[in-house]
Amino acid sequence: SHLLLTEPAPLAASQDDSTNDGSLRTLLTLCDLLNRELLVLIGWAKQIPGFSALSLVDQMSLLQSGWMEALLVGVAWRSQASAGEELVFARNLQLDEAQCRAAGLADLYEALRHLTSRYQAMNLSPEEVVTLKAMALANSDAEPVDCPDSVQRFQDGLHEALQEYESSRREQHRAGRLLMSLPLLRQTADRAVQAFLRLHRHRRVPLHKLLLEMLDAKA
């Protein structure tokens, strides 16, 4: 219930109007949205029970390692409801396959649709989504870790919450199924990071400083 309460309201995209090139405009709008989502994500992380007890170094490591996974849980969750096969980055930024392809994000589209249909098939509850998001951050396999015991305690707290929630619903296999979906999330996030790095390096799409800093940490 704490995670449900601290879940930030979805952001709206602010349309970039610095260029007439439609697909570049889409990219710039998307990158601006991502940058603002990152800011919100960092504020959100501090509110997860146990996160602020970690050393500053470990907080940084977990975020640098797990930010894309945590953000993509949100995108995949929002995209489930989309009737057409769009990716719902925001209510006012929904991209279909053709738009993603035109923007050079065909690979990201495919990866995210795959994740979305996996979540759809699992019929996740809001409680499961917020827990999955927090676990993605806690389980990000950041290296090096300053205090492994504290990170372990942070993970254990979330795992315990998930198990308690599922046993209250008498769902014996759900916690395990959720954990078994984490590898696909990791894979999807890796592909997303590569896609944005490509945009920046090969197509010289300008990125905001925070987004660039977080992508660089993964490069």
The residues binding other proteins (CB under 8 A) are: 39, 42-43, 46, 56, 59-60, 63-64, 209-210, 213-214, 216-217
Q: Six-digit token pair at 55?
A: 């050393």
Q: 29 vs 59, which CB is nearer to other proteins? A: 59
Q: 46 vs 203, which CB is nearer to other proteins? A: 46
Q: 21 vs 216, which CB is nearer to other proteins? A: 216
Contact 211, 31 (CB under 8 A): yes
**C-alpha pair distances (Å), 83 with each of 118, 146, 189, 193:** 16, 45, 23, 26
Q: 164 vs 213, which CB is nearer to other proteins? A: 213
SS3 content of the chain, % helix, strand, coil (to 5): 70, 5, 30
Through-space distance between the first and last CA atoms of the chain, rounded to whole angstroms: 35
CB of 45 to other proteins, least distance (A): 8
Question: For residue 144, is the peptide bond before it cis, meaning its omega torsion is within 30 degrees of 0?
Answer: yes
CB of 186 to other proteins, least distance (A): 20
Helix (H, G, I), strand (E, B) or coil at 66: helix
Q: How many residues does the chain have?
A: 219
CB of 55 to other proteins, least distance (A): 11
Q: 145 vs 175, which CB is nearer to other proteins? A: 145
